[in-house]
Amino acid sequence: MKTILKGGYVLLLGILISCGGKEEKKQDGFQVERQKTTQKATQKVETETTKASERIDLENKGVGPITSVDLSTDIDQALVAEGKAAYDQLCLACHRVGKKFIGPAPDGILKRRSPEWIMNMILNPEGMVKEDPLAKDLFMEFNGSPMANQGLSEEQARAVLEYFRTL
């Protein structure tokens, strides 16, 4: 019995070694699966349009309580400070400036989204993921990780938006 088991291990080990040692011998970990997924991903990107996070849609206002936002030409610095404080407390755990994290980075977001869409995403993430096609695609792009409703007031969300204008 023991011998058979041992034999089995040796066989298994043999397969593992042959797989892992295929290309880069020095690299850690288990390579076969990774290669496959990379290949698939490349194919997908080729067949689909731009990634949801890179798509530009300034017309879409999203789904939620915000139907119009007036942005003054000058940035309100007091509001920015307020927005940054709320962002650091309620958003930073998933959104990092200049870096894709759990969710997308907020910098340059106003070049890709309408202010209303941004605020609705903050205030109504559950509804957005269900009903807004772009939010739905983002949800899939970001690993199926749902954006949490952090219970911001409309005023707080507006302040966060002002902060985003500075990024």
Partner 1 sequence: MFAVAAVTMFLIGCNQQGKDSNGALSSSAAEKVYVAPGEHDEFYAFISGGFSGQMSVYGLPSGRLFKVIPVFSQDAEKAWGYNEETKPMLNTSHGFVPWDDAHHPDISQTNGELDGRFVFINGNNTPRIAKVDLSVFETTEIIEIPNSAGNHSSAFVTENTEYVVAGTRFSVPIPQRDMPIKEYKGNFKGSLSFISVDPEDGGMDLSFQILMPGFDYDLAHPGRGASHGWMFFSTYNSEESHTLMEVNASQNDKDFIAAVNWKKAEEYIKEGKFRTMPANYAHNVYDESTHTATSTMKKEVRILDAAELPGLVYLLPTPKSPHGCDVDPTGEYIVGNGKLSSDLTVHSFTKMIDAIENERFDGEAYGIPILSFEDVLAGSVKQAGLGPLHTEFDGKGNGYTTFFISSEVVKWKVGTWEVVDRQPCYYSVGHLMIPGGNSRKPFGKYVVAMNKITKDRYLPTGPEVTQSAQLYDISGEKMELLLDFPTVGEPHYAAGIAADIVKERSKKIYSLEENKHKYATTSDADVRVERNGKEVHVYMTMIRSHFNPDNIEGIKVGDKVYFHVTNLEQDYDVPHGVSMIGANTSELLIMPGQTETFVWEPKQVGVWPFYCTDFCSALHQEMQGYVRVSPASSDLDLSWSLGED
- 128 touches partner 1 by CB under 8 A: no
| Selection from 58, 54, 65, 64 nearest residue 142 by Cα | 54
Q: Which of 32, 45, 71, 92 binds partner 1 (CB under 8 A)?
A: 92
Phi, psi of 70 (to 5 degrees): -100, 120
| Selection from 87, 109, 97, 95 nearest residue 145 by Cα | 95
Closest to partner 1 by CB, 23 or 28: 28
Torsion of the alpha carbons at 67, 65, 73 and 109, rounded to the nearest 10 = -100
Closest to partner 1 by CB, 61 or 147: 147
Q: Which of 58, 146, 154, 155 binds partner 1 (CB under 8 A)?
A: 146
**Six-digit token pair at 166?**
């500075």
- Per CB under 8 A, contacts with partner 1 among 97-116 are 101-102
Q: Please give the radius of gyration of the chain, using alpha carbons only, rounded to the nearest integer.
A: 23
- 94 touches partner 1 by CB under 8 A: yes
Whole-angstrom distance, CA of residue 157 vs CA of residue 15: 55
Q: How far is the CB of 27 from partner 1 (least distance, A)?
A: 13
Q: Which of 88, 131, 154, 155 binds partner 1 (CB under 8 A)?
A: 88
Q: Which of 3, 18, 72, 144 binds partner 1 (CB under 8 A)?
A: 144
Is residue 120 within 8 A of residue 63, CB to CB? The reply is yes
Is residue 145 within 8 A of residue 103, CB to CB? The reply is yes
Q: Which of 21, 149, 154, 155 binds partner 1 (CB under 8 A)?
A: 149
- Per CB under 8 A, contacts with partner 1 among 27-86 are none
Which stretches of the chain bind partner 1, using CB under 8 A? 88-90, 92-94, 101-102, 143-146, 148-152
